Structure 1
Amino acid sequence: MKQRLLDDVTIIDLGQIYNGPYCSLLLSYLGADVTKIEPPSGEPLRGRVDDGEAPEFVMLNSNKKGVTLNLKSEEGKEIFKDLVEDADVLVENYSVGTMDGLGLGYEVLSELNPELIYAHGSGFGEEGPYNRYPAMDLTIQAISGIMDVTGFPDGPPVKTGIAVGDFMGGIHLVAGILGALYERERTGEGQFVEASMHDSVFPTLMSPLGAYFSDDDVPSRTGNRHSGLAHSPYNVYETADGHVAIFGVSTDHWHSLLEVVGREDLKDDPRFETNVKRANRLDEVDEIVESWTAERSRKEVERTLLEAGVPFGPVKELEEVVNDPHLKERQMINEIEHPSFGEISVPGSPIRLSNSELPDIEPSPEKGRDNEEVYCSQLGYSRDELERLEEENVI
């Protein structure tokens, strides 16, 4: 088996909910040895179910060891320091100031381990007027402008259906960690790495920002149309049994679409000869397209547009997505048997490297599953000491 990118990198993971755990999940898929630390009661994501394992926890914590540790106890803090002394990276996404309040902030830990890369996933960053705001994905979407640009013009602001802040923040934190690891190879020194959810989602507003700076008349919410109303056709169109998204990037696409819908007479029509002119006639363009799609099945529309070379995408329901043959072939959907949850599909790695094989997926750890391995084999505690730590709620 080929060596993976981070095979010699050890990571301590204090991640919780989505942001930190996704960051460390990607690092584990790149080969890093990740030890997830939870409080004895378990990380908050486990609390989404009364019994067994929360599916989100199972999906985000594959390929990690799992231990429990009470960082509010003095002995727990000392054990944590012992673990950090030999680690390459620490990942955490607690609120700003939480780790400093525990006496386990970057300044303290970097004294113990100058090579440590301390990675903090935050909501709004270490500094700035919002740095103490409570940060959950919904609040990030609200304050970042994402909700303002999501929905239809005549409706209220709407959140996206995905946790865009959590995952965008986690991805950017991975990039920062990899950059810090690269620099450490040259300098021998670790550093503090931060990626905030708020900063990470700001660039995703590119189209609405373009509209804001160029046209005061464009509404902030444009439904399924282009955020700046700058492209046409660009919408979700009804079919006889579903919906399909169609986007005519160029005039060539528009002409191909006209051939498909039987309106070649419009190819030389000056009202539609450029994208700008088509964008000024959104309703007319949409009517031309949907009058054709509405009479055909989604499959027929897909097949026809694929042959014509027109950009499109069937609007798939969640049930279709979890059984998507493309995602399965790409190993983004991996069916595993979890000892507590049972059969479940978990995500694979979107990152592909020609010199590394994709990892085998190991089930997420049950709470405290690897306490004995980590504390006894790695730190040298006896089984009697391990029992005492459990009884005293240290682990």
Structure 2
Amino acid sequence: MLTGIRVLDLTWVWSGPLAGRILADLGAEVIHIVGRTTVSGSKISQDMAEMMGIFPENDPGKTPWNRRSTDNDFNRNKLGLTLELNTPEGADLFKRLVKISDVVLENFSPRVMPNFGLDYPVLKAVNPGIILCSMPGYGLTGPYRNYVSYGTNLEPFSGLSSLMGYPGEGARISGNAYPDPAAALHATGAILTAVFHKLKTGQGQHIDLSQAESATCLIGEAVLGYALDGKIPPRIGNRHPVHAPQGCFRCKGEDKWVAVAVSSEQEWKNLCQAMEHPEWITDIRFSDPVNRRNHQDELDEFIQAWTRQHTHLDAMRLLQATGVPAGAVLDAAELLEDEHLNARGFFQKMDHAECGLRKYCGLPMKFSNPPTFPHRPAPCLGEHNEYVLEKILGLSKEEIARLEEKDVIGAWPMDD
């Protein structure tokens, strides 16, 4: 669907690589550009590999930089090019790529691109129609612009952590660096919007995308609530501020749970029937949403007494069969084997040169008239150097060899 769109992806870690992967999955030609000075070639011990948990079978192998599960997930369907942008030759080659590309994607701190001499005015002079999407943690402007940022410290700043936790306890973080994927989705939408604008007007854009704000804008009801009544939303754990019962309940088996979310009187009556306790319907303690909220502790105990008799999957199915919103809490192993996800063909198998045949999460959307999407494993370091430089930029083999001799490109980390 995005065939003909070329993206130069300078990103690292999670937010940017995920945005680039979505574009690549949808057919854009995404060239992931890596500086080898940023890639560690240090040997990784077995103890360290087991602690990191990112290598197949916890084996880092002889080239661990090519075996990281996160990189191999986020960089599938991309071309891999190494290029040292802090060298005159590397910067010049990058500008030549910019001249024939549509999008540049980066998630460095605001200082990095200007330090390379590759900020937006420079890129725009090379290609007036170029779209530069910058994804610094706190944005390109403001007093925090140069703060060090990862999803784990952006999440508290975004306000999300203040909402997470149980009554009377401190704030919590999600454990999933939530601003990263939120920023990736916003970046994808912003880039596609800019591409659409360019197709209509020929104009490029510089997109200033704050990862922190990407998370904050998704908790707008909490911000709006304070603006309306001046009250800080309390932490309520797994419960809902209005509806009850809502929560996560223990089931049969070790660390097995089911989530239940009742939001109407009909769903409440259905739950009572499914759990074979129709007397709850007329119990004054549970007779309406207000009473149920006021007696949630008692109600939760009754519900959990029922869920403990069932596996989490059986509890979900029994409740769903009567129209009660319920979902089993699945761990990673269960997700890979889930009958629904596999029936929809959600997982993709890819055979990586260093990691072998593995399952990866696919696209969560299905198109009624799908084109042929790319299906290519993530590149090893510098795997497509020759293809990009020779086939796309037109360099000779002798010129490419000289770049390798000068360490402008290569297929091995620079610190090794």
Q: Scaled by the length of structure 2, what TM-score is found? A: 0.87
Q: After TM superposition, give the deviation of residue 329 of structure 1 in Å.
A: 3.2
Displacement of 1:297: 2.8
Q: Once the 2 structures are TM-superposed, how far is the Cα of residue 218 of structure 1 from its aligned partner?
A: 5.7
1:291 counterpart letter in structure 2: A
User: 3-state DSSP class of the match of 2:162?
Assistant: coil
Distance 1:166 1:358 in 2: 28
Match of 2:68 in 1: 54
Given that residues 122 and 197 in structure 1 are in contact (C-alpha distance below 8 angstroms), is that contact kept between their aligned partners in structure 2? Answer: yes
Q: CA deviation digits over 1:47-83, x for unaligned, max 9?
A: 9775241000001111111110000001110010001
Give the distance between the partners of 1:214 and 1:285, measured in 2 at CA.
Answer: 30
Q: Cα–Cα, structure 1 residues 10 and 218, in superposed 2: closer, same or farther, change >3 Å?
A: closer
- C-alpha distance in structure 1 between counterparts of 2:221 and 2:257, whole Å: 23
1:237 aligns with 2:255: no
Q: Whole-Å Cα distance in 2 between the matches of residues 119 and 137 of structure 1?
A: 18
Query: Do the aligned residues in 2 keep the contact of 1:120 with 1:194 (CA within 8 Å)?
Result: yes
Amino acid at match of 2:234: P
Q: 1:26 aligns to what? A: 22
| 1:1-395 aligned within 5 A | 5-41=1-37, 51=64, 52-206=66-220, 208-209=222-223, 216=231, 219-220=234-235, 222-226=236-240, 229-241=241-253, 242-357=256-371, 359-395=373-409
Following superposition, the deviation at residue 304 of structure 1 comes to 1.4
Structure 2: distance between partners of 1:84 and 1:360: 23
Residue 296 of structure 1, CA deviation: 2.6
Deviation larger for 311-320 or 120-129: 120-129
User: How far off its partner does 1:270 sit?
Assistant: 4.4
Aligned partner of 1:164: which letter?
A: Y
1:240-288: CA deviation from partner (whole Å, max 9, x where unpaired): 2221100101111001111122222232344433323322222122122
Say whether the 8 Å CA contact 1:12–1:91 is kept in structure 2: yes
- Percent identical among aligned pairs is 31
Stretch deviating more after TM superposition (272-281 or 85-94): 272-281
CA contact (8 A) 1:258 1:266 kept: yes
Find the aligned partners of 1:344 and 1:224 in 2 and give their Cα distance.
34
Unaligned runs of 5+ in 1: none
Asked if the contact 1:173/1:194 (under 8 Å) is kept, the reply is: no
- Give the stretch that moved more between structures: 362-371 or 333-342: 333-342
Report the CA distance shift for 1:19/1:30 in structure 2 as closer, same or farther (over 3 A). Answer: same
Q: Cα deviations across residues 25-47 of structure 1 (Å, max 9, x unaligned)? A: 11111111111110124557999
Following the alignment from structure 2 to structure 1, what is the Cα–Cα distance between the partners of residues 141 and 124?
Answer: 20
Q: 1:364 to 1:131 in 2, by over 3 A?
A: same
Q: How many residues align?
A: 388
- 2:25 partner letter: Y
Contact 1:45 1:57 in 2 (8 A): no
Determine the C-alpha separation between the residues in 1 that align with 2:128 and 2:41: 32
Distance 1:9 1:106, change over 3 A: same
Separation in 1, partners of 2:302, 2:322:
17
The Cα of 1:208 is off from its aligned counterpart by 4.6
